[in-house]
Structure 1
Amino acid sequence: MRSTIRNSYLAFEDFAKQLCEKIICPNLLEQTGPVAGGDGKVDTQSFPVSEQCKTLWYVGVNDNSNSDRWAFAVSTQETWKAKCKKDVRKIKETNRGYKKIFCITNRYAKADQRSHLEDELSKETGIDVRILDLSWILDQVFRNKLEKLAIETLSIDIEWRRDIEIGSSDYSKNKRLDEIKLYIKDNVDPSSILSYQLDLMLEEAVLSKELEHSFIESQGLFDRAILASKRHGNEHQSFNCHYQYCWASYWWYENKSLFEENFFKCFDIALEINNSDKWGSVVSLLFLYSTYNRDEEGNLNNDMILVVDRVSQHLKALSLKDMMPSNSLMSSFYLEMLKLLKIQNVNPDFR
């Protein structure tokens, strides 16, 4: 019986650590020694990572998790409040300078009781204390499609398992994705990322999206590609990252706010590059953006008209530059395309 309880705790501790690595911060130490914190008083803790190495992170990215010291305590006890108090006070007594303490429990905690205990312990210890209960765990697992992680680490018996038949195209994409992941892991110097390596990072994000990997993973890969391009690349590479993120946000994630954020990033970068090719990409995104900004009659709203007019203004200026005939010709073409966006619905009975 005691062995079963111990194995159950170890399985939950392993699951909690892997979940926190994906959601909170990836730089967590492996626990060695006795169960329940052992001599270290914590079940796991963060370790310092340079700002350059943090560039390669794509899950669990937080602003200070690479430099601050964070402690994690895991519990399966029914009396979760008493266990949290005990763990937090023991961690405080170590005087290691922890900035945050996360208490993860597999019990449900009422919101008011959890908040009250967090405030009480934070005030008592001077450390930011967070209690993550079963509700939080379930929300993160299902929201981020981490069911496989829970099933495998907790050895959950399931009657039905989703079998995925991989076609030749997905097989090739999976193979390519594995190759890129391995290459980035073994060859990329985070302090000096080369141009073609930045392209590989973006390709990895696109493949992850096309293979329908978890949103948190794919989003993290896009964010990593954008950050790396900003630090080590050029404006064209940054534009390409935001452009691909727009398409993913619209067609895969159906996330309007994420699309808008990256669309206006593309717009700002296009202003700096001032090239008809990039403005053509902006125009293609405008057609997608217009679906969010039409009234019941199918006409553009005022905010969208202002955006179209701004793009038209810059394209018109480019079209008048005779010294760059190709750029001028393509700009004129995109101007004609924008006219299609502003056509009013002449038949109000048509839907």
Structure 2
Amino acid sequence: MKGNKILAGVLSAGMVLSSGTAVFAGETEASANAGAHIYVLTSTEDHGWTGSVATFAKEKIKEINDAGTYSAELITAASAADQITQIEDILAGDTKNAAFVIQPLDDTVQSAIQEIVDAGIPYVAFDRIIDAVSSTAVSNVKGDNSGIGVAAASYFTGLGMKPGDAVYVYEGDTSSVTTLRDQGFTDYLKGDAEFEGKKIDDDLKWTDDDLKNITYSGAMNWSRSDTKTSFESLMGDPKNADIKWIYAEDDELAMGVLEALNGGGIDDATKQKFLDNGPAMTGCGGLDEYYEVLRGNSYQDIAKKFSGLCSVTYSPAMIQTAIQDMVDHLDGKEVTQDHVIACENVTADNVADYPSF
């Protein structure tokens, strides 16, 4: 955490006098902001993780509108250019009571965000944090990409993974997201990171030589079909059936592995050898299809042969936290500017407690 806090409307005395009555400053700020309109800008609601952000945003927006203190609306965009135009159109109108929650579609939205800042309008950034303007946000809400790798490594270690065991990593793309998810995994194994307040036991730490037994797929482009094809190719060499630990950096990639095992693209003997080894796999994100496997409702002929299946949380529902940060700011409450949402491991034991998309 940067420890940088935004405290709206709080006076050093902690309270002010209004008509001879003591009123907490936060209440004065909330009263002043009553009627504020929150524009929530996200990607188009279509499919996948980014599309589901809008779905969860609508739930929170309804809650705000039903409460009546503030109003809110969702505005979606299919491209960064569209999103920039939307921001400029809003700023061209009456922005006296405006506030923004923005999921920037790419870094080119920086210029439009700067216009919001220049207009003196508060905003919360979600998911894609643009470093050049991050210090101007009320809050920067994001998932912990490094923490995803940390959580996966901790899960495998808990299942008995030993230093130097063969691990195969299915990577998402070539961006910093993948770099961080790779790094978190090895950081935990080396003892340089902790999960839920604990580091790996000293006798289970991996050396640099041990880490050489981790194989990386290269960019799967977050594609289930690309991962399915890649895993079928991997299992084309029967020696690779000895790989026990599969770290998929997204639930879509994990589903690609399951679909490959459920299909006919792998030799039956190799497939049987792989499953008899009691493999374990982690995904990430909260995809409902993968959660259905964890719930015991699909792919059970295959899933029951795994020694463990897990999905690390990185839910599009985090947009609701971003919107709540803006509400808290308008209420005059203290908001953490660098708001990183910790990862949790979702398994068959606790999947009922987590939303999916």
Q: Is this a same-fold pair by TM over 0.5?
A: no
Q: Which has the higher strand share?
A: 2
| Greater length-normalized contact order (CA 8 Å, ≥ 6 residues apart) | 2
TM-score, normalised with respect to structure 2 = 0.25
TM-score, normalised with respect to structure 1 = 0.26
